[in-house]
Structure 1
Amino acid sequence: MREPGMLRAEQVSFSYDTRPVLDGVDVSVQTGGLVGVLGPNGSGKTTFLKLLAGLLTPASGHITLDDVDITTMDRRTLARRVAVVPQETELAFDYSVLEIVLMGRYPHLQTFELEGPADLAIARRTLAATGTAHLEQRTFRTLSGGEKQRIVMASALAQFEGAPSTPDRGDPPHEDTNTTRVLLLDEPTSSLDLSFQLATATLIAELNRTYRTTAVVCTHDLNFAAGLCRSLVLLRDGRVVASGPTDEVLTPATIGAVYDVEADVHRHEVTRHLTVVPLARL
């Protein structure tokens, strides 16, 4: 029997022109799941993320959200349910932080409609939820890489219908907890220093836990994924090599099959997370 409240890719294939990128990918993510998508360069990770976001259409197969094929959803409806945090965000104009977050409210506005007090309140709640309320009046270009990442995450949260209230305000939740909302993150720690890498991982875990935001994280960093994600999907050449709970998937044999690397995998004595140490190329 199919579980309700899930994001699913079923036998998904995709090609750029005549070049196959994904072939028969099957992945299921439960509502509230925190899943890492790993694989070498060219394995199809970013393309898979774009398919989950509805930015690309599968050549074959289906992607469903709560058992509805996302290709049948209009763009505004899908954008209220699925938000993307890209690897890099470049802006043509130097908007303020608050303006950037308010842009996340576009799925809730009619054509030419301006944001109202409710949208402003939601934007400020998401800034508070991401620990960036103090940056509200700063311009985006003046921020550090880690600060920019948090602002883009705040804007993504603002897309969701009834974006989350901050726990310390005592506000009631604004979301329908029966509706799956998905945050897709592409290389969220690339170009970040260790401090911001840790802060980003902590924030993703907090949003996932506190607001039951389903998160799918594409990353090259096996140790980042091992410390953050409860389950993993490993891709190679557009196919799923392994998927399941992190402790079951992240093994020397699987790493060898995906990366052609001999690796030591052990549990860190302090964090108790799995740690991967590459030893030699196979």
Structure 2
Amino acid sequence: MDAVVSGIVLAGLYALVGQGLVLTFVTTRTLNFASGELLAVGGFLALGVGSWSWLPTPGKLAVVVLVGGALGAVVHRWLVLPFARGEHDSRWLLSTVGISYVLLNLFTNGEGANPQRVELTRNPGTVEVLGVGVNKQSLVIAVIAVVVTLALVAASRWTSGGVIMRAVAEDPRTVALMGISPRLVGAVAYAAATALAALAGVLWASEVGATPGLGVHVLVSAFAVAVIGGLTSFWGPLVGAVVFGVVVQVSAYELGALWGQVAGLALVIVVLVLRPEGLVGRRMEAKL
């Protein structure tokens, strides 16, 4: 039970970052492989604004999220849009991976590799869940991930913005003829996705400290849960994260930490073979 509960709670962090991947894929059919480093940006921004005594904590958190969102729009404009000029143009993959290495080196050279304590949203202590002691900070992240998932599902189904987002992904040319800018929609999607990564970075750095590699492992796991759940469904990251987190934690408990990670990645392969669209995703149809 300890391993199961720990896996479910840890799933919140992966789901939060995974939602950003799904958001950009659903809208633009691209993925931001710099999300891990942009998560670290959130952690270091929290470290910087934490010293602003004149601004209350909600205001500091808002600054981090807004700056993260602005960086996402910049990434879309200069690193994705010029390199995604057709369905089979995948140069955006290299450009986002490239900027991730640039950011990683900048943080390492500028801030050093040692963790730096972040107090902005820190919740010390534990709370009992189903008889198991759970870190309060991890529980907060899990709750926020559920709230974000519900908000994205509701927005995609019952708002005009959700309809526009799906329409841009299906047929951007027709959407453009109707007076809606696919570029603007893509920029908004990237901004929202990176804002989620920055939020996750603040919350995670408040638990483990801000480091250049803060988001490296998180991005790998977030991509895994997005694939397991399905890149075409906003339920996907949450469902995939719970399954992935439980499998990893139970395997680590029974076989050791190394085998826990191996089991998680093996699960990704199994899902890709048996159900490529993910557990709750839908199969994509190509129009000729």
Q: TM-score range by the shorter chain?
A: under 0.3
Write 1 or 2 for the structure with the bigger share of strand: 1
Normalising by structure 2, report the TM-score. 0.26
Normalising by structure 1, report the TM-score. 0.26
Write 1 or 2 for the structure with the bigger share of helix: 2
* Larger RCO, structures 1/2 (Cα 8 Å, 6+ apart): 2
